[in-house]
Amino acid sequence: MIEVKLAPSILAADFAQLGNQVREAEAAGADRIHVDVMDGHFVPNISMGPVVVEALRRVTKLPLEVHLMIAEPERYVEAFAKAGADTIQVHVEAALDFRQTVRRIRHLGKKVGVVLKPGTSPVVISDILAEVDIVLVMTVEPGFGGQAFMPSMLEKIRQVRQLIDTTRKEIELEVDGGIDVHSTAQVVAAGGGVLVAGSSIFHAPGGIAKGMDALRAASKG
Ligand code: DX5
Ligand code: ZN
C-alpha cells in the first residue's frame, strides 16, 4: 500500500511562530507545505501573499505549494514563483483562461495544480487533466480553516480518481478541508493520495508531530 502524503496547511499555524512550526512539521516528515492565499474577493477571507512564501523558502527545504484562492490568479503566478513556490494551484472557477494560466506556470518551471470547489463537477477538468500535476479536491467551501469535512465529496474523489486513472499519467489526487482522524480513512479509500491538513496538525493537543502521526495511522484504516 502506498503511504499517504501529508501537506500541513500553515493557515492553522501560530503565525508568531511560523518558522519554528514549519521546521517542526518538516522534522515530523511532512511531504510539502501548503500555503493558502486568500484575497477577500474570490473567498471572503484574507490571508497571506508572496512575502510569506519568500520567508518560508528560507526556513524549509520542503516543496512549497501555493493554493491560490484569489480572483485573476494569472496576474500573480509570477510573483509567487519568484518568491519560491514549487507548485501553484489554481481554482478552475477563478482563472479566466485556465490553459493559458497553466502554460504560464509551466514556463516559470513550476508544477501546476487544478482546484475544484465543492460545487464544481469533475467533468469541467476532463479536457485539461493531462496538463496538470495535481488535482486538488476541496472538501469544505474554501476560505476558512477548521470547517467540517463534507462527506458528500467522497463520491467526487472517487470520480476524480477514475478520471486520473484513465489518463495513465502520474497525477496526484490531493484533498483539502476538514481532514482529521475521522475523515482520513474514507478519503484514502476513495482514492485521495495527498492530504492537506491545518487544524488537525497545528491544533493537535499533543503537538504537530503527534497530529501528523495520528493522521498517518488513520490513513491505514
Ligand atoms: C481552506 C483552505 C485549507 C485549510 C484547511 O480554504 O484551503 O487549506 O487550511 O484547514 P483545515 O484542515 O482546518 O480544514
Ligand atoms: Zn488550501
The DSSP-derived string for 68-83 is EESSSGGGTHHHHHHH
- Is pLDDT at 38 greater than 80 in this prediction? yes
Does the pLDDT of residue 33 top 80, yes or no? yes
In the residue annotation, 165 being an active-site residue is answered as no
Catalytic annotation, pick one of 31, 39, 133, 176: 176
Instruction: Name which CATH class applies to 9-143+150-170.
Output: alpha beta
Taking residues 5-9, report their average pLDDT.
99
Mean pLDDT of 40-52: 98
Confidence of residue 1 (pLDDT cuts 50, 70, 90): low
Q: Name which residue sits closest to atom 6 of ligand 1, judged by CA.
A: 142
pLDDT tens figures, 147-205: 999 999 999 999 999 999 999 899 999 999 999 999 999 999 999 999 999 999 999 99
Name the average pLDDT for the chain: 97
**176 is a catalytic site residue:** yes
Which one of the ligands is nearest to 118 CA? 1
For the purposes of burial, counting CB atoms within 10 Å of the CB of 73, is it exposed (0-12), middle (13-18) or buried (19 or more)? buried
Residue 6 has pLDDT above 90, yes or no: yes
* DSSP per-residue codes, the chain: -PPPEEEEBGGGS-GGGHHHHHHHHHHTT-S-EEEEEEBSSSSS-B---HHHHHHHHTT--S-EEEEEESSSGGGTHHHHHHHT-SEEEEETTT-SSHHHHHHHHHHTT-EEEEEE-TTS-GGGGTTTGGG-SEEEEESS-TT-SSPPP-GGGHHHHHHHHHHHHHHTS--EEEEESS-STTTHHHHHHHT--EEEESHHHHT-TT-HHHHHHHHHHHHT-
Per-residue pLDDT at 221: 81
Task: Please give the distance, rounded to the nearest whole angstrom, from the Cα atom of residue 156 to the centre of ligand 1.
Answer: 18
pLDDT at 174: 98
Cα(32) to ligand 2 centroid in Å equals: 12
Q: Is 12 in the pocket of ligand 1 (CB under 6 A)?
A: yes
Q: Which of 147, 176, 187, 199 gets mutated to test ligand 1 (max ligand atoms within 8 A of its CB)?
A: 176
Contacts of 217 (CB under 8 A, 6+ apart): 181
Cβ-in-10-Å burial (0-12, 13-18, 19+) of 175 comes to: buried
Residue keyed to cell 481532514: 179
Q: Any idea which residue has 497545528 for its cell?
A: 202
Return the closest-CA partner of residue 67 out of 89, 96, 45, 94. 89
Question: Mean pLDDT across the stretch 125-146?
Answer: 97
Q: What pLDDT sits at residue 36?
A: 98
- The band of 69, judged by pLDDT with boundaries at 50, 70 and 90, is very high
pLDDT digits (tens, 9 = 90+) for 105-120: 999 999 999 999 999 9
Share of the chain above pLDDT 90, in %: 97
Sign of the alpha-carbon torsion through 105, 4, 189, 171: positive
Residue list, CB under 5 A from ion ligand 2: 36, 67, 176
